[in-house]
Structure 1
Amino acid sequence: MSILSTLGSFQAPLTLLLIIFGPSLLPRFINLFRPRPPSSTPKPVRPARPLRLKLVLGIHTLWILKHLLLPPYDLFVNNNLPISISNSQIRYALLGPEYDPLTRQIHPLLELLMNRLKIMDNRILYFKFEHKPMMECVWCQTPTDYLIYSLPNILSWYLLEATFLGGMAWKWIAGPEAPQRAETWRNTFGWILVVAATVEGGIKWGWDLRVVEGDALHLASIIHTLRSIFLLLFPLVYTFLPLPAIPVSSSILASIVSNTTSTLRLTSLARASIQRSPILRETWSLLGKRDAERKEIARRDEDVRRIVRELKLDEGTMRVGARGWIREGWNGMVRVDPNPAAQAGT
C-alpha cells in the first residue's frame, strides 16, 4: 500500500516526465538487453521501419496520452476531497452551488450515487471501481457485483490492444519483418495482456482498502495511470525488441562447401599445369609481380585504405568474418558425439 501511495503522490510529475523523455529513452533502454552478436559474425541488415508503422504507432500513442492526461471523472480526486468528508459536502460537490430543489430535479442515478456514498463501505468501493459503476449499476450490492459490471470496461482496453498487436503482424503495416516478429513475440505479448487484465481485476476485487487518517488510497485512479503507461509502452517495446537471426539450412551450407571444394580442386590442378609449362610459368610469374606491385600501391594510398576500412573489406576483417561464418555453418551442419564409445557399447 505504501508503494501505491507513493505512486499516487508523484503521479502527475511522473506522467509529465514519461511524456517528455519516454520516446527518446525507450530505444536506448531496449538496446541494453539486445544480445550482442560475436565479432566474427557480420551484423544482419534490418530493413527500415515503414512510414505506415510510424503513423500507426503515433496514433496509438496520442490516443493513450489523451486518456492518460484526461482520466475518467472521480468525485474525490477532481474535487480534492478526503474519503471522510461529510454527506452534505459530497452533495454540494455533485450538485454544485447553483442547485435549487424547487426549480431543478435530481437525476435518479445521481440520487442513487449520493445515497450510496452515505455509507463508508460504499465510498471504499468507489475508490476501487471508479465513478461510473457506482452511479450506473442499479443492481450492484457487493464487490463481486461491481467487478462483474466493470469487466467489459476492463477487458475492452486489453482486447483493443490485442487487436492492435494482431494488426502489427501484417506486412503492409509493419514491414517485411512483421511475420517473423509476430511468430517470435506475439504469443508472449498476448499472455502478458491476459495476465495484466487478470491482475487488474484481481486487485480491484481483492485489495483491502483501509481508511488511514481520514483518507484512503485512490486505487482506481492509480490503476488507470499504470494501465495507460503500460499500454503506451506495450507496442513500442514490441516494435523495438530484437529478432533472432534466421538460421541457414544445412542443404545450402552443403552446396556452398561442395562448390568451394570443387573450386579449390580446379585451382590446384590449374597451378600444377602452369608449373609444368615454362612459358605459362614465366607468364604467371610476371602477372604475380604486377599484381603485387598494384596491391602495394593500393596499400600505401590513404584514400583507398580509408574506403576499405569503411566498407570492412580489409583482409583481417574479412578473414575473421569468413572463419567465424564457416565455423558456425559447420557446427550447425555437423553434430559430433561427445562420447561415441559409450554409444557404440550400447
Structure 2
Amino acid sequence: MPLLSAAADTFILGAVVSLIAFAYRGSIPAPAKNMRQPKYWPLITGLLAIHTLYMIHTISFKTPPNLFTELHLPLSMPSHKIRATLLARTGISGDDVLPEHIEDLLTRLNTYDLRTYFVRFGQNTVQECEWCTTFTEYAVYTIAPIFLSYILEAALLGLVTIRGSNREMWRSTTIGVLILACSVDAYWMLTVRVTVDQQDVTMWYDTLWILRHALFTALPLVTHFVFPPSFTPSPLAIVPQTNLTLQALHRRLQLLKFTSAITLRVPEFRQAAGNYWETQRMEGKWAREDEGINRFSDKTGRGIKREVARELALKCKHGLDI
C-alpha cells in the first residue's frame, strides 16, 4: 500500500538510494599509479546527482499520459464507450461534456490509423498536433524532441568525459552507445507492427520512453563510477621507442654526410648540385632586391640586410647556447 502515492513513493525511494550512493561513491578516488588526479571529479559528481534526481522525478511524475493504460481499456474499444467510461469514472452526468482536448482526442480515435499512431507516437502527439494529418507529420512531430533529448544527453556525456575527469577515453564509446540507441529508438518506433484488434497491445511509445529515460539515467552514472579511469603512460615507457628513433635518425645523418661527399665525385651529380645551388642563389638575389619584401621584413624586425641578419644570427646562437 503506498504511503503517499505510487509516483511519490517511487521518487522518494529513488532519491534516497541515489543520494546514499552518491555520498558513498562521490569522494575523490585516490589516484593509482600512472593516473592523473581527477580534477573535475567533485563538480561532475554534483552535476550527475542533480541530473539523476531530475530523471527520477521525470520518470515518477511525468510519464506520458495514456488513456487506455490508465483506464485499463482495450485499444479497440469504440470512442463512445470510452467517453461513457470517462463520464462514469469522473462522476459527470451523461448530458455534460468532457474537456475540449479530451473530446478532440476521442473524435480522432474514431479512425483506425489514429489508433495505431496513438500506440507509436503517444497520446500527447495525437492530442496536441492539430495540423498533423499524415504518418510523416506525426512522426516528425514526435521524433524531433526525442532527437533533441539525445543531443542534450550527448552534451552531458561530453562533460562527464571532459579532460581532467579521468574518463576521457570513454567519450567515443558512450557517444557511440547513444547514437546506436537513438537509431534503434527511431527505427523501432517507425517500423514496429501495430494491431488494434489484439487484446493486449504494447504501447510502444510509452515503453520506449521508459527505456530511453532509464538509459539517460544509467549511462552517465556507469561512465563516471563504473568504467575504469584513463591512464597516462609512464615517461619511462617511451624511452625505448625514443632510443630507436634517435638511432635511426643518427644513421640517416651519417648517410647524408657520405652522400654529400659522393655527389661531388660524380660529374652528373656535381652538375645537378651546381644547378640547384645556382637556382637558389638567383632566387635569393631576386628576394633581396624586391622592395616589398625588404619593407615587410624591416617592419617585422627580420630584415635581410647584413647588419640585421648578423644580429639575428647572434640571437639564435645565444638562444641555442652554441
TM-score by length of 2: 0.58
Q: State the partner residue of 1:236.
A: 221
1:218 is matched with which residue? Answer: 203
Q: Verify the 8 A CA contact 2:35 2:230 in the aligned structure 1.
A: no
Q: Following the alignment from structure 1 to structure 2, what is the Cα–Cα distance between the partners of residues 94 and 229?
A: 31
How far does the alpha carbon of each residue in 1:66-121 deviate from its partner, in whole angstroms, 9 at most, with x for none?
122231211112222221223223213555534457665742x4333111212333
1:188 is matched with which residue?
173
Distance, in Å, in 2 between the alignment partners of 1:214 and 1:168 is 44
* Sequence identity percentage: 27
List gaps (5 residues or longer) in structure 2: 1-6, 22-31, 246-322
Deviation at 1:191, TM superposition (A): 3.1
**Secondary structure at 2:202 match in 1:** coil
- Structure 1 residues 167 and 45: alpha-carbon distance in aligned structure 2, compared to 1, 3 A threshold: closer
Task: Give, as a single letter, the amino acid of the residue that structure 1 aligns with 2:37.
Answer: P
Equivalent pair of 2:185/2:208 in contact (CA under 8 Å): yes
With normalisation by structure 1, the TM-score equals 0.54
Indicate yes or no: 2:90 matched with 1:97: yes
Distance in 2 (alpha carbons) for counterparts of 1:223 and 1:191 = 19
Is the aligned partner of 1:47 residue 2:47? Answer: no
Return the alpha-carbon distance in structure 1 between the equivalents of residues 35 and 151 of structure 2: 34
Moved over 6 A (4+): 20-25
Letter of the structure 1 residue corresponding to residue 142 of structure 2: S
What corresponds to 1:65 in structure 2?
Answer: 56
Which residue pairs with 1:35 in the alignment?
none
Distance of 1:22 and 1:50 partners within structure 2:
17
Pair 1:165-2:157 in alignment: yes
Change (3 A) 1:85 1:134: same
Asked whether the 8 Å contact 1:129–1:147 carries over to 2, the reply is: yes
Distance in 1 between residues matched to 2:98 and 2:197, nearest whole Å: 36
Q: Partner amino acid for 2:229?
A: L
Match of 1:149 in 2: 141
Deviation at 1:189, TM superposition (A): 2.2
Choose 91-100 or 213-222, whichever is displaced more. 91-100
Which residue does the alignment assign to 2:4? none
Q: Provide the residue aligned with 2:122 in structure 1.
A: 130
* Correspondence for 1:85 among 77, 81, 86: 77
Preserved contact between residue 84 and residue 215 of structure 1 (Cα < 8 Å): no
Cα–Cα, structure 1 residues 62 and 23, in superposed 2: closer, same or farther, change >3 Å?
closer
Contact 1:57–1:235 (Cα < 8 Å) also in 2: yes
- Residue pair 1:113, 1:134 contacting (<8 A) in 2 also: yes
**RMSD over aligned Cα, in angstroms?**
3.5
Q: Distance in 2 between matches of 1:105 and 1:232?
A: 37
* Alpha carbons of structure 1 residues 145 and 124: separation in structure 2 relative to 1, 3 Å: same
Q: Closer, same or farther in 2 for the Cα pair 1:93/1:200, shift >3 Å?
A: farther
Q: For residue 62 of structure 1, report the CA deviation from its aligned partner.
A: 0.9
- The verdict on how the C-alpha distance between 1:116 and 1:215 changes in structure 2, with shifts beyond 3 A counting, is farther
| 1:56 equivalenced with 2:41 (yes/no) | no
Structure 1's 329 and 154: CA in aligned 2 closer, same or farther, altered over 3 A?
closer
Matched residue count:
222
- For the pair shown, the structure with the greater C-alpha radius of gyration is 2
Letter in 1 for 2:148: S
Pair 1:104–1:119, CA change in 2 (3 A): closer
Greater RCO structure (CA 8 Å; 6+ sep): 1
